[in-house]
Amino acid sequence: MTDVTKLLGSEYLAPVLKKLGFKKKGHVWNRSISYGSHVIDLQSSRQRVDGSTDVTVNVGVFVGLVWKNCWDKPLPPFVKEEHCYPRFRLGHLLADFDPKQRDRWWKISDSDVVGAVGSELSAYLLNECEQYFSGLKAVKDVCSLVESSISDLLPLERIQRAILYYHCGMEEEAKGLLQAVACDEYWHQKVGDVRTRLGVVK
């Protein structure tokens, strides 16, 4: 992570997220909730020859029961964005989850630009992102969001969605997702393990 990106995180994002109840570790912030954690992650690209770099913000919702049933491991003491489901770029949220607008990066060419980008990202976190988080009061709200807005592309995401569906009473939908992923030989054993933990019969 470049010096300007560290400056962006410490001087602009960290104060806003601290006020919202997040705790920081490196470039990741966690906020504990009843069923897991809200997660914010600041990501930067490799610095270019001209010294510029691009940054983006990753957003995640960590649901403890999804983690346990997927991995059969203790809950991580501090949650990384890749531990979450659902997870997505801030730009995807700002685009109202338009599948054609999944990604958005902000260019920082020098320290003079940090303030403008920092102010913009801080406003998004304080407003759009916090409004999004505030609507996820229970696991069923996460399930509704996933069902209506999130397009899963990877087998692991479809497994995680199935776990979420199962715990929200959508058992047939969960079974269908797991069956579809199980057709992939690479994921067959993983699906079997998840079925066992959930108590799902094919």
* pLDDT tens string 27-60: 999 999 999 999 999 999 988 888 789 999 999 9
Task: Enter the pTM of the model.
Answer: 0.94
Lowest-confidence range among 9-18, 109-118, 150-159, 185-194?
109-118
- What integer pLDDT is reported at residue 102 of this predicted model? 86
Residue 192 has pLDDT above 70, yes or no: yes
Residue 112 has pLDDT above 80, yes or no: no
CB 162 within 8 A of CB 141: no
The tokens for 34 are: 């009843």
Looking at per-residue confidence, does 6 or 142 come out higher? 142
**Long-range Cβ contact pairs of 91-95 (< 8 A, separation 24 or more):** 91/56, 93/59, 93/128, 93/129, 93/132, 94/124, 94/128
Residue 19 has pLDDT above 80, yes or no: yes
- What integer pLDDT is reported at residue 52 of this predicted model? 84
pLDDT category, 1, cuts 50, 70, 90?
Answer: low
- What integer pLDDT is reported at residue 200 of this predicted model? 83
- pLDDT tens-digit map of 68-81: 999 999 999 999 99
- pLDDT tens-digit map of 128-184: 999 999 999 999 999 999 999 888 779 999 999 999 999 999 999 999 999 999 999
Any residues with CB less than 8 A from the CB of 58 and at least 6 apart, and which?
39, 40, 41, 42, 43, 81, 87, 88, 89, 90
- What integer pLDDT is reported at residue 150 of this predicted model? 85
